[in-house]
Amino acid sequence: MRTAIVNLGGIVSGDLETPTIAGDAILMDGGVIEAVGSVPDSALKACDVVIDADGAIAAPGLIDSHVHITFGDYTPRQRTVGFLESYTHGGITTAITASEVHTPGRPKDREGVKALAVAALKCFEHFRPGGMRVLAGSVILEPGLEEADFAELARKGVKLAKAGFGAFSDPIEYAPYVQMAKRHGMITTMHTGGSSIPGSAGIWAKHVKAADPHVSFHVNGGPVAMPDEDFPVLVDETEIALQVCTAGNLRTTLLVADLLARKGRLDRLLVATDTPTGSGIMPLGMLYTLTHLCALGNMEPEIAIAAATGNNARIYGLNSGILAPRRDADVIILDACAGGSKSDALSAIRNGDIPAVAAVITDGVPRFVGRSRNTPAAINRVRVAESRIMQDFSGSSH
Ligand SMILES: [Zn+2]
């Protein structure tokens, strides 16, 4: 499928190094981006769908790197179906599992934790709710796992390992398990902060530093934060990516963003939601957190968007998250919300208003164009200008 977006009022790249791109159009073909900036008329004539952005802006689809998936589009924690599809209406085009820890009756034995990760991985290879990509299958580190187990998991395609919910008496004991997972090429993640499940111990900077995972999960607390004096330890004494989550402590989100900015290391800041949890289902969670970073933390919106897209993509080795040729064609169109005081998406974000999601395209396929089910309407009239496809893209069928 060949899809183009024209009449863009701006393009946010998702790349921290060059956060904006000049031009007003994007061309996608066969699930990848072909051109960003300008698209010749001859190429537009060959498109199956042309979307007129009417002055709204494009950004990479948001990557939520902390989603509590289980199986199917169902969250046992909030007893709700369809939440992932709803997240696409908040601009989230990729959900990365926080491990399948919410699966009812989740196994804790060696064979069980391996089977759970493999099963989740394999199921979501063939299931894309609302067009979203779901990176599933994160092995929950439990005592007794051995080198051979990680070799087996890696052979079966498991790419993620999670420290934090295992039956260890002291969190310091995670360190050799995280290192084992790393030796087998896995991206390793570690719960950070107070315990989120009764009986699990708090994990603070000394534990995270000793384990040295790729990502400190919800460094701002999930939902309860570690002490303030622990934040400089992770920022200054490690190279760990620091993930801030909507369902956590907002004050320490701003604290860690400020510490990283002062150090010139915003490449290590990752935005995620940590939902569904006890905090609920939050389809607009990514938009809220990046808006908070800008309105309360004085971050530029295109930088916050990079933390929610390209930064996550780099750490997790994804081909999405950046608008550039040959990258995955996961693109969203954002605008200021109708009835607000600002006239474009980036000004609205600076003002503390969430932007309107006016279109979501994943894998080069428009999933809806015009109006998100979850945000207010856009001020500009984003619409399908031309289509050779017998399909209603308005999203009204949802
Ligand atoms: Zn979590």
Which amino acid, residue 358? A
pLDDT, tens only, 13-69:
999 999 999 999 999 999 999 999 999 999 999 999 999 999 999 999 999 999 999
Q: How far is the CA of 319 from the centre of ligand 1 (A)?
A: 24
pLDDT above 70 (res 199): no
Cβ within 8 Å of residue 389, ≥6 positions away: 1, 48, 49
pLDDT, tens only, 79-127:
999 999 999 999 999 999 999 999 999 999 999 999 999 999 999 999 9
CATH topology of domain 62-283: TIM Barrel (3.20.20)
Cite the residue boundaries of each domain of the chain with CATH code 2.30.40.10: 2-60+321-387
Q: How far is the CA of 27 from the centre of ligand 1 (A)?
A: 36
In the numeric block, the tokens 């974000």 are attached to 349
Q: How far is the CA of 337 from the centre of ligand 1 (A)?
A: 30
Confidence of residue 196 (pLDDT cuts 50, 70, 90): low
Structure tokens at 349: 């974000």
Q: How far is the CA of 389 from the centre of ligand 1 (A)?
A: 40
Work out the average pLDDT over 217-234: 97
Nearest to 336 by CA among 375, 296, 391: 375
pLDDT, tens only, 129-169:
999 999 999 999 999 999 999 999 999 999 999 999 899 98
Residues 286, 290, 292, 294, Cα dihedral to 10°:
-170
Q: How far is the CA of 1 from the centre of ligand 1 (A)?
A: 36
The percentage of residues in the chain with a pLDDT greater than 90, rounded to a whole number, is: 95
Q: How far is the CA of 272 from the centre of ligand 1 (A)?
A: 10
Q: How far is the CA of 10 from the centre of ligand 1 (A)?
A: 34
pLDDT above 80 (res 339): yes
Q: How far is the CA of 300 from the centre of ligand 1 (A)?
A: 27
Q: How far is the CA of 68 from the centre of ligand 1 (A)?
A: 6
Say what the pLDDT of residue 391 is.
84
Q: How far is the CA of 163 from the centre of ligand 1 (A)?
A: 11
- pTM for the model: 0.97
What pairs with residue 275 in β-bridges? 67
Q: How far is the CA of 245 from the centre of ligand 1 (A)?
A: 9
Q: How far is the CA of 66 from the centre of ligand 1 (A)?
A: 6
CA–CA separation, 32 vs 147, rounded Å?
37
Q: How far is the CA of 321 from the centre of ligand 1 (A)?
A: 21
Cite the residue boundaries of each domain of the chain with CATH code 3.20.20.140: 62-283
Mean pLDDT rounded to a whole number for the chain? 96
Confidence of residue 349 (pLDDT cuts 50, 70, 90): very high
pLDDT, tens only, 226-273:
999 999 999 999 999 999 999 999 999 999 999 999 999 999 999 999
Q: How far is the CA of 30 from the centre of ligand 1 (A)?
A: 34
Q: How far is the CA of 281 from the centre of ligand 1 (A)?
A: 12
Which amino acid, residue 112? G
Assign domain 2-60+321-387 one CATH number from 3.40.50.10420, 3.40.50.2000, 3.40.190.10, 2.30.40.10.
2.30.40.10
Q: How far is the CA of 386 from the centre of ligand 1 (A)?
A: 42
Q: How far is the CA of 98 from the centre of ligand 1 (A)?
A: 6
140 near 191, Cβ under 8 Å?
Answer: no
Q: How far is the CA of 112 from the centre of ligand 1 (A)?
A: 20
248 near 278, Cβ under 8 Å?
Answer: no
CA–CA separation, 64 vs 307, rounded Å?
10
